[in-house]
A and B are shown apart, each in its own frame.
Chain A
Amino acid sequence: MRKLAVAAASLALILLVVAPLRLNGYFVNLIYITMVYVGLAYGWNIISGYAGYFSFGQITFFGIGAYATGFLINGLHWYWMVAALAGGIVALVLAGPLGYVMLRLRGPFFAMGMFGMAQTVRVLITATPATGAGAGLFLPPGSDVTSVYYWTLAVTLGAIALTLWIDGSAFGLRLQALREDEQVAGTLAVNVTREKIVAFMLSALIAGLIGGGFIYFLNYIEPDAAFSSRLDLQSVVMTVLGGVGTVWGPLVGGVVMTQIAEALWARYPQGYLIVFGGLLVALLILLPRGIVPAVRARFAAADE
Chain B
Amino acid sequence: MHVVQLVVNGLLLGGVFALSALGFNIIFGVMRVVNLAHGDIVVLAALLCAYEFGTLGFNPLIVLPAAIAGGFVAGAAIYAFLLRRLPGEIASGEASSLTLTFGLSFFLVGSGLAIFGGTFRSVPFLTGALYVGAISVPEAKLLAFVTALILALLLGAFLRFTPVGCAIRATSQHVEGALACGVDIDRVKTLSFGLGTAVAAAAGTLLSMIYDLSPQMGVEFTVNAFAVVVIGGLGNYAGCFLGAMILGLADELTSYYIGANLAEAAPYVLFILVSLLRPSGLLGRRVT
Contacts and interface: CB of A to CB of B under 8 A. Distances in A.
Within 8 Å by CB, do A and B touch in the complex?
A: yes
Interface of A: 48, 52, 54, 56, 101-102, 104-105, 107-109, 111-113, 115-117, 119-120, 123-124, 126-127, 179, 229-230, 233, 236-237, 240, 244-245, 269-281, 284-285, 288-289
A117 B110 contact: no
B275 interface: yes
B108 A284 contact: no
7 contacts: A112-B34, A115-B268, A116-B269, A120-B269, A124-B262, A236-B99, A288-B87
B99 A52 contact: no
A284 B262 contact: no
Contacts, number: 140
Contact of B92 (A107, A116, A236, A274): A107
A273 B109 contact: yes
A236 B272 CA distance: 22
B106 interface: yes
A285 B82 contact: yes
Contacts of B269: 116, 120
Interface of B: 34, 36, 82, 85-87, 89-92, 94-96, 98-100, 102-111, 113-114, 219, 223, 226, 230, 259, 261-262, 264-265, 267-269, 271-272, 275-276, 279
Given A280-B100, A281-B103, A101 B276 contact: yes
A237 to B, nearest CB: 7
A289 B89 contact: yes
A133 to B, nearest CB: 9
Nearest to B227: A116
A50 to B, nearest CB: 10
A278 B82 CA distance: 11
B219 A273 contact: no
Contacts of B104: 277, 281
Given A52-B95, A244-B91, A270-B113, A119 B34 contact: no
Given A127-B259, A273-B113, A54 B82 contact: no
A196 to B, nearest CB: 13
A268 to B, nearest CB: 9
A275 B108 CA distance: 11
**Chain A CB within 10 A, most for which of B103, B107, B219:** B103
A277 B100 CA distance: 9
B95 A107 contact: yes
A117 B223 CA distance: 12
Nearest to B33: A108
A284 B99 contact: yes
B102 A280 contact: yes
A56 B99 CA distance: 9
Contact of A277 (B92, B96, B107): B107
A260 to B, nearest CB: 13
A279 B106 CA distance: 10
